[in-house]
Amino acid sequence: VKLNTDCLTETHRIEMHGDQASSSSGGRKGRLDHNVLAYYRETLRNLDEMRSPSWGNPDDYEQLLSTAFDSLAREGRQLAQNQTGSRLAESLINLADWPRLARLLNNFAANWPAVVGDRFAHRVLQTAIRRYLTLRLEGRGEADAAGSADDDGAVDGEPLSVESDPSRLWGTFAAHMRLHYPEYLEHPYACHTLRSYLLLIGGVLVSANPTAPSGSSFNKHDSYDPSSSVLVDPPLEFDGISLTEELDGLCSRFLENKHVLSLIDSEVTGPFLQVLMLVLKLRLPKRFRKFIKHLNKASGLLDATCKIEALGEKYSVPSLLCSSTGCYFLEQLVSLLSPKQLRKFASAHIAGKEAALALHPSANFVLQRLATADPPPGDWLAKLVASAVGDSPGAGWLSEAMRQSPGRQQQLLVVLARQCRAAQPLPQDEARRLQAQLMRKFDSIAASS
């Protein structure tokens, strides 16, 4: 393997384009000299080659990676604000240990707003948070931290002294997010960073979207299911503020909004609430139950008469079920509710509407989530199966569902069949009867089509 060293130099330069140049669709995107992108692209290619068993000197890899992060310590923010540069930065972050990652974060800390709300840089910061949580999970979150602080001078008047203590470095980030929470909650880019901030303070590593590129940052399709999340212990404390105090403050500020349901149905704020509930559920179960009660009081989500005026529109659980964002929120809500709350939710909002919901492309997933709850609400599950294959008025929706969207509805059928067999509240003979009834219906539909 021949190492290409043409671009491995620190003589490349950043064109001054301003920290906020890419922070809005109307502004100029961060522009970089071609040599800058070529340097980082070539560095990543060479790092990949150095991982090969045929490479002679393993120290070359560590030396090159350190050199790359020396550059990021000076120009990481500008690189992150460039569309191509941000992807290169994310790739390097996924190779970093904590001392190297701390050097990049110190560059970000010199101007958090330029990163948090930037169109491209916010994704780089999210990847850095995920990388830090992964390192902590592996026991490497503070490795060599004590000996990594130094001072390499200054660039553009900014000191390059490296704060390597995670609680102090992330503490500056936490203080910034806490201060700007109201404006960031509905910001198109900063709202993503706000979710990652919640995961950071809660020490929760979520399962990434399996269809997204490896190492990419979070989006609204990520899994926020407790069963696919990992706790990183212990959670960090910032500025002497405990996790309980931090989450209590965020919950109170969210519930202060007069239009809670409009926030739930928003693609910007809805996912934030999902992450907030996840962290509460995993870290502070009692606080979570209390928050659900307050959320229900503010929105009426679990009440049968759930209707509330918000922004001139009437919101209800049925309307949320047929909204892509609202439906996703309800899908996550179902996974977090207690068995008693699940029965109440199903009775108030699902019973009698199974056919319409099963045929709806979004609401269908809420039915699947409700059917796979642990434990599922047994009486409702039996009624759902009966409505799918029965002959009574309004029943028999499975045939139409299979005709409209065979793939998705077949998945619902498999879920129902599996849950009929596993549902503890149902007698075993009843469970077997329902499962057989489902499969006979499926076979008849398949034969006729």
DSSP state of 16: P
Give the percent of the chain with pLDDT over 90.
34
Higher per-residue pLDDT: 400 or 168: 168
Residue 122's pLDDT band, with cuts at 50, 70 and 90, is very high
Residue 1's pLDDT band, with cuts at 50, 70 and 90, is very low
Task: Indicate the SS3 state at residue 159.
Answer: strand
Amino acid at 109: A
Query: What is the per-residue pLDDT for 412?
Result: 60
Q: Which of 153-157, 199-203, 240-244, 286-290 has the highest mean pLDDT?
A: 199-203
Q: Which of 100-114, 244-258, 290-304, 350-364 has the highest mean pLDDT?
A: 100-114
pLDDT for 177 beyond 90: yes
Each residue of 150-163: pLDDT tens digit? 444 443 444 445 57
Query: What is the per-residue pLDDT for 268?
Result: 86
Query: What's the pTM value of the predicted model, to 2 decimals?
Result: 0.73
Given the structure tokens 């002959």, which residue do they identify?
A: 391
Q: How far is residue 90's CA from residue 140's CA, in Å, rounded to a whole number?
A: 19
Instruction: Please provide the distance, in angstroms rounded to a whole number, between the alpha carbons at the two ends of the chain.
Output: 58
Task: Indicate the SS3 state at residue 315.
Answer: strand
Higher per-residue pLDDT: 33 or 202: 202
Half-sphere CA count of 283, side-chain side, radius 13 A: 28
Residue 24's pLDDT band, with cuts at 50, 70 and 90, is very low
Higher per-residue pLDDT: 297 or 123: 123
Query: What is the per-residue pLDDT for 147?
Result: 40
Query: What is the per-residue pLDDT for 210?
Result: 36
Q: Which of 39-48, 96-105, 330-339, 386-395 has the lowest mean pLDDT?
A: 386-395
Spell out the SS3 assignment of 190-211.
HHHHHHHHHHHHHCEECCCCCC
- Cis peptide preceding 375, ω within 30 of 0: yes
Each residue of 25-53: pLDDT tens digit? 333 445 777 889 999 999 999 999 998 88
Q: Which of 109-113, 153-157, 281-285 has the lowest mean pLDDT?
A: 153-157
For 283-306, what is the mean pLDDT? 74
Query: What is the per-residue pLDDT for 158?
Result: 43
For 267-291, what is the mean pLDDT? 88
Query: What is the per-residue pLDDT for 340?
Result: 75
